[in-house]
Amino acid sequence: MEILQNLLLFFGQTLIVILAIIAILAAVGILIAKAKDQKSFKIELLHETLNDHVEILSHVLKGKTELKAEKKKKKAEEKEKAKAIEEGTYYKSRIFVLDFLKGDIKASATEHLREEISTVLGVATPNDEVVVRIESPGGLVNSYGLAAAQLLRIRSAGIPLTICVDQVAASGGYLMACTANKIIAAPFALIGSIGVVAQVPNFNRLLKKHDVDYKEYTAGDYKRTVSLFGEITEKGEAKFKEQLELTHDMFKTFVGKYRTQLDLSKVATGEFWYGEKALSLGLVDEIRTSDDYIFSRPKDQQIIRISYENKPSFSDKLSDAFAKILSHALNKLLVRNNSIENV
């Protein structure tokens, strides 16, 4: 009986919370209607961040006398640097770093990549360089085709494009990577998989076994070559395979256009290779981690990371807060009931 009373009390409290939130939403309804996901534009000066970290560690490790002499020397260098920066003569070139590190099947990160590239193209010159760090096992052909086309905008503008792969650039990931003037890969990065795959489960025999009729109506001989529930015919299956081969040919043509040194008969088999072997096959140009490549630069080069991130809308924040309140209240009730039952 006491447990039932506790449950009724909990639901009563929950109802009050819900009504209060509804009242708040009604009061700020106009704001919520206008609140959409906003993109946060972020610029990081990676060379300055690295220098700050090195300086902190240096202070910990060095003695007072050494630090004093170093501080005096650095003060003079900073004065000269500030003057050169003001005159526009210090930084000889810039490296713009972009990340495509969550390469899901739909290449969802393309949305941000296109905006980052548009921003960079507004300021970059042929004296600069764009470095894109890619991590992706591939996915949908059209999605990764669009991502690769975005990268080609950099190359078409005459700005050197370098792709760095620390873990994997396979299939659609390599479709993106091959657009670069130079591909850098870590020793054990997975590279390649220049092939096409399609998997279609078919439940037609299962439906027949249970006397379930399935009708599919199309206009056009090849509108639906294979399907989940319809019977797969020899004609339909042959056409489907033909379409796969056509897609593979397009993939090979695209790669061959930008990696002319490749022997496509050897590398366009759908296989992947680790970095060292990929280098010997011509799939990449250098074995190196992205960190080593980016940060082993002269002091007169700026390293600038640019990124766009989605900021949660006002309504999303309210939803999250509401969910936390409910979760907290439910947990308190469960703990209380358990303590009562254990007495």
Please, is 303 exposed, middle or buried when counting C-beta atoms within 10 Å of its C-beta (0-12, 13-18, 19+)? buried
| 74 annotated active-site | no
**79 a catalytic residue:** no
Catalytic choice (136, 143, 171, 290): 171
Return the SS3 of 21.
helix
Task: Give yes or no for a contact between 294 and 278, defined as CB atoms under 8 angstroms apart.
Answer: no
Residue 93 pairs in a beta bridge with 301
Q: Angle, nearest 10°, between helix axes 314-342 and 2-27? A: 170
User: Cα(80)–Cα(300) distance, rounded to whole angstroms?
Assistant: 13
Provide the H-helix boundaries in the chain.
2-27, 29-34, 46-61, 64-87, 110-121, 141-156, 172-177, 204-209, 234-258, 264-267, 275-281, 290-295, 314-342
CA distances from 228 to 206, 217, 220, 224 (A): 11, 14, 18, 10
Rounded CA separation 111/146 (Å):
10
Quickly list DSSP for 249-310: HHHHHHHHHH-TT--HHHHTTS-EEEHHHHHHHTS-SEE--HHHHHHS--TTEEEEEEEEEE
CB atoms within 10 A of CB 230: 17
* Cross-strand pairs, 39: 310
Pairwise CA distance, residues 320 & 329, whole Å: 14
Length of the chain: 343
Active-site residue, from 223, 280, 296, 339: 223
Cite the active site residues: 171, 223
